[in-house]
């Protein structure tokens, strides 16, 4: 395991790209995320129940997606970055056996508060699973 580098406000510019992050979507990730967030909706942990709803398999809940968005941004910002705002929208579902690739770009800078806005998307084989913005204050 490597230690995380902290990104400083002075080191970023508008248009900078965050390093891409690939997340393999597994049954364990989906069900574990649902259980950890106390989301016991059967479509998140019971394949038969999900299929009875018309879904091919269990599907990821929004709280797991939110956590993965935070992971993506924190891997770039480092442990001293402070999340100020998170605005996301779900699109295509995440199903086991797929891969979600995160991409992000710096779209706004506020020097007075040292806050950076990251516009991001997490895309799987069906399209964008999640899109949105995250505001993070950097040291």
- As a whole number of angstroms, the distance between CA 43 and CA 35 comes to 12
The answer to whether residue 1 is domain-embedded is no
- As a whole number of angstroms, the distance between CA 43 and CA 123 comes to 21
The answer to whether residue 24 is domain-embedded is yes
Q: Quick one: pLDDT at residue 4? A: 77
How many distinct structural domains can be found in the chain? Answer: 1
- As a whole number of angstroms, the distance between CA 74 and CA 67 comes to 10
What's the domain range around 87? 9-137
Beta bridge partners of residue 109, listed in sequence order:
116
Query: For residue range 51-68, what is the model confidence (pLDDT) as tens digits?
Result: 999 999 999 999 999 999
The answer to whether residue 87 is domain-embedded is yes
Place 1 in a pLDDT band, splitting at 50, 70 and 90. very low
The answer to whether residue 2 is domain-embedded is no
pTM exceeds cut of 0.85: yes
Q: Is the pLDDT of residue 114 over 90?
A: yes
The answer to whether residue 3 is domain-embedded is no
Q: Is the pLDDT of residue 37 over 50?
A: yes
**CATH code where residue 114 lies:** 3.10.129.10
Pairing of strands 115-124, 99-110: antiparallel
| Average model confidence (pLDDT) across the chain | 96
């Amino acid at each position: 395991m490597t230690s995380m580098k902290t990104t400083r406000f002075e080191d970023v510019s508008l248009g900078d790209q965050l390093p891409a992050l690939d997340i393999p979507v597994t049954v364990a990730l989906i069900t574990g995320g649902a259980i950890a967030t106390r989301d016991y909706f059967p479509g998140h942990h019971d394949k038969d129940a999900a299929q009875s709803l018309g879904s091919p398999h269990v599907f990821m809940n929004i709280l797991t997606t939110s956590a993965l968005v935070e992971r993506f941004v924190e891997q770039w910002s480092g442990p001293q970055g402070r999340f100020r705002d998170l605005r996301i929208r779900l699109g295509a579902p995440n199903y086991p056996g797929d891969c979600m690739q995160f991409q992000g770009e710096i779209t706004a800078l506020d020097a007075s508060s040292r806050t950076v806005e990251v516009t991001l998307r997490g895309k799987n084989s069906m399209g964008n699973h999640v899109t949105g913005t995250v505001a993070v204050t950097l040291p």
